[in-house]
Amino acid sequence: MSDAQPAPERGDQMRLAFASFLMLFVELALIRWVTANNVYVTQATNFVLLASFLGIGIGFLNARAQRDYLRWTPIALLVLVAFVLEFPVILNLSGPVPYRGRGGIPALPSPISLAIVFLLTTAVMAGLGQGVARMFIRFRPLQAYRLDILGSIAGIALFTGLSFLDQPPATWGVLAACGLVVLLLPRARWWQVLAAGGIIALLVLESLAPGQMWSPYSKLSIAKHGGANPSIRVTANNIPYQTALAVSALRKLFYTFPYRHVSRASLHDVLIIGAGTGNDVAVALFEGAKHVDAVEIDPLLVRTGQSHPSHPYQNPRVTVHVDDGRAYLQDTTQKYNLILLALPDSMTAIAGQSGIRLESYLLTLQALQAAKAHLAPGGTFAMYNYYQPFLMDRYATTLVDVYHRAPCAEVGRKLGGRRLGVLTVSLSGPVPNCASLWHGTMVAPATDNHPFPYLRDATIPSRYLWMLGAILLGSVLLIRVGGGSFIRMRTYLDLAFMGAAFLLLETKNIVQFALLFGTTWLVNSLVFAGVLVAVYLAIETANHVRLPRPVVVYCALLAALAVAWFVPQETLLGLPVVPRFLASSVLAFAPVFLANLVFVQRFASVATSATAFAANLLGAMVGGTLEYIALITGYQFLLLAIGILYGLAFVVGLRQRSTTSGPSLSA
């Protein structure tokens, strides 16, 4: 069956671009919003993304089907929003029940909560995918793909702009719900409009919750308490995060421990990474620091810190840097008498072992080496938090590797399964006034290639294997029930391999740029946008330039992957910002561009573009599960996996081309 369709009508180009824009915008909003309200999802990398790819793939498989998923999308999205708000998952650090729901009742069990979120997300994205697919098949494959990419670029640009403006879910909800109604025109029904109104109403109510703000990173819930002991309590994504206290209260806590080992006269310059709402800065000022550079990645935490009981951020001795801590260390030339990693990993109660977190590249061997390089002669480094036992051993081992001596270890009270630990080490020799050196078990440090400090061993935990197995099995069933037979995708198996490889390539680039320029929302958004621009350029190249034979393009792609494999990360880290950006862009986006030349060369000749695109999307979903192999191998190995997958795509495509060009099909 071919994609023969009536010629596109006037306005169909705009309609396809709009549908693609809305699909990507809703996908990004769901990834951001669901994670903020359900702690279970925080622990599972790519969970909402995998559901989105599955749903979009099912939608494309139903581009011509009589079943209409799009008309039910407003209902599906309303049910998803209502479920997430009615059954949130909130971390409870005190008491026998670790996860609470609304009103303090126990949260739903993790398998039930995750299964419902996955199914509802798949349903929402299946409707949007079908809406795109119905327009997609009206055009020639490359023309449709071009319009899809342009719409997707617009979607990520708008979502990035809203993140910059700290917009709450109400804004996302208005755009998504109104966009759905527009997509359903001119046949929108009253109940669809009513469902869209319900989505907006629920998200507006959530956004009006007292003390709630949405930074580009987290949903922040702020509770201010006055009286004799003023404080500001901050919860991030339903996880207890920080409590700002007056210096009089902080002096009784661990914040002062590092200052036992330094003289007041030596504190000319202090660097605090993870300054948050200002506790550590307030203590540094009280202890006599003449100047403090306070680095905090989240601008809303700094804004909240303006109300700190001791007002540290208003002090002229403090300079605030809204930046990623590792990026700051790479770009500054300043030397410090004291460097503090001040609870940058404040949410380690739910480790999220499978993914890159904001602080992951702050806690690697190479990061602590970078911190050491910024210590002035005789300088001191300290880090503290409530650690799981193996985690304190890992960080202490890292300090041993960096400084070649055991750190001073001060251990305090327990908090759940964790215990307070303060690790201090001096550049010049033994730590003064140290009562106890660390003498625990050596645990291999996290590295820039394997930045998973919360993962005890280089393995995939069994709960992730069970989750991935359930997702893949459930996806097979959902595709069979909701998408039809797998047989019609058989001729596009090479596109499925390409989809899996490309998802891994995108993941590797995001991780690479996070290391080189910081794990910030802006860096991530720019990488996504850069990938889409590279895809668009590949489409335009294919439209205007006669491409060489597929084998030549594949060889060029494998060569680009080989170059990326052999260029050491530390070489790029040592470059100034502009050369680092140029070099990393070439290494990252050259394979993306060539991979899409491979894709568009194949996609231009497909007989059924919707089915072919569905195969590519579902392959990308499999790639999202393969990403977990980085927990064992590290991220550099993904380049080898990408090369293998593209090699399989070439071999399978070669066999398919030889079959379709045979005499039996030419008659």
Domains of the chain listed by start with CATH number? 1-211 (no CATH), 242-346+365-426 (3.40.50.150), 468-659 (1.20.1250)
User: Confidence class of residue 196 from pLDDT cuts 50, 70 and 90?
Assistant: very high
Among candidate residues 220, 234, 232, the one with its CA nearest the CA of residue 36: 220
Mean model confidence pLDDT for the chain: 89
pLDDT of residue 7: 61
Task: Give the strand pairing for 336-342 and 375-387.
Answer: parallel
If you average pLDDT over each of 38-42, 128-132, 465-469, 513-517, which comes out highest? 128-132
pTM, 2 dp: 0.89
**CB half-sphere exposure, 370, CA atoms < 13 A:** 26
Which of 18-32, 319-333, 429-443, 506-520 is predicted least confidently?
506-520
Which of 196-200, 570-574, 649-653 is predicted least confidently?
570-574
Centre a 10 Å sphere on the Cβ of residue 373 and count the other Cβ atoms it contains: 10
Helix, strand, coil fractions of the chain, as percent rounded to 5: 60, 15, 30
Q: Is the pLDDT reported for residue 18 higher than 70?
A: yes
Token reading at 468: 């991935």
pLDDT of residue 361: 87
Among candidate residues 529, 646, 509, 499, the one with its CA nearest the CA of residue 587: 509
pLDDT of residue 657: 63
As to burial, measured by CB atoms within 10 angstroms (0-12 exposed, 13-18 middle, 19+ buried), residue 211 is middle
pLDDT of residue 6: 56
Instruction: Bin 109: left if φ > 0, else alpha if -120 < ψ < 50, else beta.
Output: beta
In angstroms, rounded to a whole number, what is the distance separating the alpha carbons of residues 451 and 354? 10
Higher pLDDT, 573 or 643: 643
Cα 350 off chain centre by:
16
User: Confidence class of residue 357 from pLDDT cuts 50, 70 and 90?
Assistant: low
Phi, psi of 140 (to 5 degrees): -60, 150
User: Confidence class of residue 463 from pLDDT cuts 50, 70 and 90?
Assistant: confident
Higher pLDDT, 122 or 241: 122
Higher pLDDT, 487 or 162: 162
* DSSP code of residue 88: -
pLDDT of residue 414: 75
DSSP 380-438: EEEEEEEE-HHHHHHHHHHHHHHHSSPPEEEEEEEETTEEEEEEEEESSSSPTT-S-B-
The residues, ordered by sequence, that sit 6+ positions from 282 with a Cβ below 8 Å of its Cβ are 246, 247, 250, 308, 310, 312
User: Confidence class of residue 578 from pLDDT cuts 50, 70 and 90?
Assistant: confident
In tens, the pLDDT along 363-418 reads: 999 999 999 999 999 999 999 988 888 889 999 999 999 999 999 999 888 776 77
pLDDT of residue 286: 95
pLDDT of residue 93: 72
Yes or no: say if 155 and 24 are a contact pair by the CB < 8 Å rule. Answer: yes
pLDDT of residue 353: 42
